[in-house]
A and B are shown apart, each in its own frame.
Chain A
Amino acid sequence: AQTVTQSQPEMSVQEAETVTLSCTYDTSESDYYLFWYKQPPSRQMILVIRQEAYKQQNATENRFSVNFQKAAKSFSLKISDSQLGDAAMYFCAYRSDYNQGGKLIFGQGTELSVKP
């Protein structure tokens, strides 16, 4: 079974600085998707970025980028020029093949605080 691990329960960053959130996963599959979701206090789950395992190029979305290391099974999220609105819980997630229901498997989450 696939597992996702986020080893940093809490992180803190100064406004305008850069922060990296870590995520590792375990799988025997070769094709899969990885995601980072943001959950602000409103509880809404917001997709930040996604990465297809077959793509070697790291995904980027404005100030958000990932470092995808397939052999190491690592998928970290870098937030550049951090803003107060980035403060939230961040979840790393793995999507299994749809032959197994396309389930999302989540890590434990990292609570990010942004200091003004």
Chain B
Amino acid sequence: DAGITQSPRHKVTETGTPVTLRCHQTENHRYMYWYRQDPGHGLRLIHYSYGVKDTDKGEVSDGYSVSRSKTEDFLLTLESATSSQTSVYFCAISAGGDSGYTFGSGTRLTVV
């Protein structure tokens, strides 16, 4: 979507390797979120951020870390990828209040 980009769009990696996914926004929104989507589970929150260097865990945060050193970038890192982390990852942004959410196009990550 306009104003938010995720990279890469697809990635295949080996078990045990580190992986970083990037979410970049040009909207200057305060809130940023990382979700993973798996069949039968919908989208589940991994981590979120409510400002630069302000982050918190979601419901499925084990094995993931995040960083937000600038308003526009929210990085999701898998320190040592496992096959259970094969999924589609979505980033979302929100300005807060009554504003809505804008989602990125998703990253399909395959861990082999």
CB <8 Å contact, A106 and B43 = yes
User: Which of A14-22, A39-47, A58-66, A76-84 forms part of the interface with chain B?
Assistant: A39-47
CB <8 Å contact, A104 and B42 = no
Contacts of A109 in B (CB 8 A): 42
Interface size class of B (residues with CB under 8 A): 20 to 34
Residue of A nearest to B9 (CB): A43
- The count of chain A contact residues (Cβ–Cβ below 8 Å) is 19
CB <8 Å contact, B40 and A108 = yes
Tell me if A116 is interfacial: C-beta within 8 Å of chain B: no
* A contact residues vs B (CB 8 Å cutoff): 4, 6, 9, 43-45, 47, 50, 91, 98, 101-109
* B contact residues vs A (CB 8 Å cutoff): 1, 31, 33, 35, 40-45, 48, 50, 56, 58, 88, 90, 92, 94, 96-97, 100-101, 103, 105-106
Q: A44-B103, A108-B40 are in contact. List 16 more A-B contacts (CB 8 A).
A: A4-B42, A9-B40, A45-B92, A45-B103, A47-B101, A50-B100, A98-B96, A98-B97, A101-B50, A101-B56, A102-B96, A103-B33, A104-B35, A104-B43, A104-B92, A108-B42
